[in-house]
Structure 1
């Protein structure tokens, strides 16, 4: 057993980062590796408490190949962990020492001699920790290859005077084009994180050759291994929900079973998006105006009141959904999404057209890409007060669902994307190459 490689996997502490790295970890386990999955203490508690009853029976057998461990994130109990800048600073200041301590203690106990580190792009400093122990490493970009390429370009954008060293725009141009093989990007929409110079052998990304040929040819080092989709547990018919912060409400699947094919609007904005009361009302009323059944994910931390006219709606509301299962359900007609990259990949992998409602950061770029480049979605227009009105919601739903070409393009793209992870598929071959390298 001693020659089984042990891989330490470190995600950035946010649901949209933990998910793809957990899926990748499960693939590594399936291919004969052991994994030590490191969450922050705060996230570790959420992940462990979200295990449904069905998980406990499997927990022990999984722990032998995948160990969930935690380290402090450097913030106090009452600090706001949605404050990106504050969290990043705390992680960089305190976590390298904590990670070093964790590895040192594991090696002392002799239980798991870690041979390799797989770090989230936002946690790239972990590779320097690994080097102290003689470990090699890989970086995983949980966002798009376009975002990855953009971050790689920051040093040259600073050098040519487009940005200052804090990522503040110095140019008067509205758009930039970082490569002739890529579309122009709106500077105001861009999400900057200066990751410095990452020198290591493997850069993995949850994408495919067909989805982002421009970005992948611009940074040939990025290896597409997507789509990273959760595997199903055929015995219990549920997904393996390890890594979820919230328990999934599986009642929405039986509700979907009762709906007609291709009629339901799936509305979900990920783990961070917040609306004010005014915008929440307009969205709720817009869903009523469509006169269609809808499945709306509203997190438990939502403090909004429902408008009175919302009573008697045709929808189902859940606090968290098994998203991949929902998107693959024949009742789903379209996906009203914040365009986070995981949601984007899941929607594309299921051939579901999008109504794009990005919230912040690279989601804005993803939304434009879905609509303008892939042509499998429509965006919403805001009124003069910056609100998406209920009439706009109704209008775009009708426009999208009456467009047969949009649906057929979505299905064609699904086929191309999914061909990557069948036997002999391009992404699967790259993943096998990576595993072979770890084992050598």
Structure 2
């Protein structure tokens, strides 16, 4: 009589940056919470030594995942000294190191019945999986709009819309991205595309990561059908098995409620959160405060920082700001190094969010119903900010500007002049997001399909 097959083994492999680790951990926990009663999954989360140390220091993952005995962390090097701060400048170095070592890591963690869920920017894991006969599903921490923009780079080059020939072309309209014709400008493309050479190495880097997506067994995106449906339709023409399972933060809480567990916020931070801002917010009137955060990588310096700050102060609004700058002080509002963002956005005192337009922040703001003023920094944040303003109508786009007069005017638009219009649109997106993550909703059904397809992928691989 043959022995029963071991359960499927899922390896989660994020890119080693705050937003990527955070969203991948949410996906891992969401999948574990959502398993059908007849299925057990063993899970390995590959984390760099530096990030894992920070995660244990600053989050509650050790206690949270202790209740899941089939879950384990696997730590690896990112090629940099542990004590060195991880900044934007090191991202490419870490990528190149992981590219060199990924095959050995995959061989080490792969057992019969393994499926790899790889970060969408670690495209080399597709080849590593092929070498070991391991199915690979890609997880993108960016939205469908940004994914499709990246995917269409070769089309833009072929049509002569890239490269961008100088700053005078930044307002030129992009016409050859299907589903987005005439709605993006050159300035809405990622800044690394602002190069004169179509063979530039950074432009090629951005193209390569997304171009390989159709080779994977599936594509997971932290979005929901009602938010980006038309764009998803275009992606489906190139990539099979697309699983839209977001918003991950709202979906997690929905699954917890379905199991009669207490709903909670999920702390996956690599930075220590300062919760004192919540006590300060408790004393403020409803919708009176602007929340300011530029994420874990972007750092405003010098003139840009001061222009932003004076614009905020001149707007006369109360401010809760997440700023890492010793030069900034204020006599109204609250400044912290790192805030519990989901809880801040959910607080009734928050009326608007000045954001760098990272996709996690965008989704968290959408699920909280908070209108955004978008000031993108790099990567997918530029198309995200345009999507928020032009496609969704839940925010204003302030890219490429650092003048205090413009900041003041747009904050006042966000909080006063255009407040009702933006708030109405934001409330509608909250409704759609909630419908997506309840039982029977699109994201709920898609996650169940993902889990079932992983079961099928791993049958016969054991």
How does the TM-score come out when normalised to structure 2? Answer: 0.81
* Residue 338 (structure 1) aligned with residue 356 (structure 2): yes
Residues 183, 346 of structure 1: alpha-carbon distance in 2 compared, 3 angstrom cutoff = farther
Equivalent of 1:182 in 180, 183, 195: 180
Can you list the C-alpha shifts for 1:244-268, whole angstroms capped at 9, x where unaligned? 1112222222222222111111111
Q: Which stretch of structure 1 is more off in the superposition, 247-256 or 341-350?
A: 247-256
1:399 equivalent in alignment to 2:413: yes
1:350 to 365, 368, 371: 368
Q: Which residue of 2 aligns with 1:110?
A: none
**Pair 1:417-2:433 in alignment:** yes
Q: Secondary structure at the match of 1:360?
A: coil
| CA–CA distance in structure 1, aligned partners of residues 113 and 277 of structure 2 | 41
Counterpart CA distance in 1 for 2:54 and 2:370 is: 30
Shift of 1:400: 1.9
| 1:225 alignment partner in structure 2 | 245
Task: Give the aligned CA root-mean-square deviation in angstroms.
Answer: 2.8
Deviations 1:211-240 (A, max 9, x none): 223321111144322111164699998633
Question: Is the partner of 2:74 in helix, strand or coil?
Answer: strand
Q: Which SS does the other structure have where 2:227 is aligned?
A: coil
In the alignment, what sits opposite 2:143?
Answer: 144
SS at 1:245 equivalent:
coil
Moved more, 212-221 or 78-87: 78-87
For residue 204 of structure 1, report the CA deviation from its aligned partner.
1.2
Which residue matches 1:85?
Answer: 92
> Residue by residue, what CA displacement relative to the aligned partner does 1:32-56 show, whole Å, maximum 9, x if unpaired?
333211122222222222235xx55
Matched, 1:372 2:362: no
8 Å contact kept, 2:382–2:399: no
- For the 8 Å contact 1:227–1:345, the answer to whether it is kept is yes
Match of 2:199 in 1: none
Pairing partner for 1:388 from 393, 398, 403: 403
Q: 1:197 aligned to 212, 224, 235, which one?
A: 212
- Counterparts of 2:309 and 2:165, CA distance in 1: 40
Q: Tell me the CA shift for residue 303 of structure 1.
A: 4.5
1:42-101, Cα deviation, whole Å (9 max, x unpaired): 22222222235xx55445334x23212121223455586522433332322x23234135
Q: 1:169 to 1:343 in 2, by over 3 A?
A: same
- Equivalent in the alignment of 1:28: 31
Contact kept, 8 Å, 2:188 with 2:386, in 1: the verdict is no
Residues 155 and 364 of structure 1: is their aligned pair in 2 closer, same or farther, counting only changes over 3 Å? closer
Task: Tell me how far 1:428 sits from its aligned partner.
Answer: 1.1
- Measure how far apart 1:322 and its partner are: 1.6
Whole-Å Cα distance in 1 between the matches of residues 307 and 105 of structure 2? 46
Contact in 1 for aligned 2:346/2:368 (Cα 8 Å): yes
Listed one character per residue, the Cα deviations across residues 176-197 of structure 1 (whole Å, up to 9, x for unaligned) are 3344422443335423512243
Determine which of 284, 299, 313 is the counterpart of 1:288. Answer: 313
Q: Is the 8 A contact 2:149 2:383 kept in 1?
A: no
Task: Measure, in 2, the Cα distance between the counterparts of 1:338 and 1:317.
Answer: 17
Unpaired segments ≥5 residues, structure 2: 36-40, 191-202, 457-462
Match of 2:286 among 257, 261, 267: 261
Residue 125 (structure 1) shift: 1.5
Closer/same/farther in 2, CA of residues 67 and 183 from structure 1, 3 Å limit: farther
Classify the secondary structure of the residue corresponding to 1:219. Answer: helix
Q: For the residues of structure 1 that align with 2:181 and 2:432, how far apart are their CA atoms?
A: 21
- Quote the Cα distance in structure 2 between the aligned partners of 1:161 and 1:372: 24
In structure 1, what is the Cα distance between the partners aligned to 2:266 and 2:29?
Answer: 10
User: Equivalents in 2 of 1:425, 1:237: separation in Å?
Assistant: 18
* Aligned equivalent of 1:97, options 103, 106, 112: 103
**Alpha-carbon distance in structure 1 between the residues aligned to 2:406 and 2:12:** 43
* CA 4–322 in structure 1, closer or farther in 2 if over 3 Å, else same: farther
SS at match of 2:249: coil
Give, in whole Å, the separation in 2 of the partners of 1:439 and 1:31: 13
How far residue 288 of structure 1 moved from its aligned partner, in angstroms, is: 2.6
Equivalent position SS for 1:271: coil
Find the aligned partners of 2:212 and 2:413 in 1 and give their Cα distance: 45
Assess, with a 3 A threshold, how the Cα gap between structure 1 residues 283 and 79 changes in structure 2: closer, same or farther: closer
Q: Do residues 68 (structure 1) and 66 (structure 2) align?
A: no
Query: What CA distance in whole angstroms lies between the structure 1 residues aligned with 2:350 and 2:316?
Result: 15
Distance 2:413 2:156 in 1: 39
Cα distance change of structure 1 residues 81 and 327 upon mapping to structure 2, 3 Å threshold? closer
- The answer to whether the 8 A contact 1:15-1:271 is kept is yes
Q: Could you tell me whether the CA contact under 8 Å between 2:318 and 2:333 is conserved in 1?
A: yes
Query: Structure 1 residues 212, 296: CA separation in 2 closer, same or farther (over 3 Å shift)?
Result: same
Higher RCO (C-alpha under 8 Å, 6+ residues apart): 2
**Pair 80,433 (structure 1): closer, same or farther in 2 beyond 3 Å:** closer
Give the gaps of 5 or more residues in structure 1. 108-112
- Is 1:252 the counterpart of 2:251? The answer is no
Take 2:359 and 2:291, find their aligned partners in 1: how far apart are those partners? 17
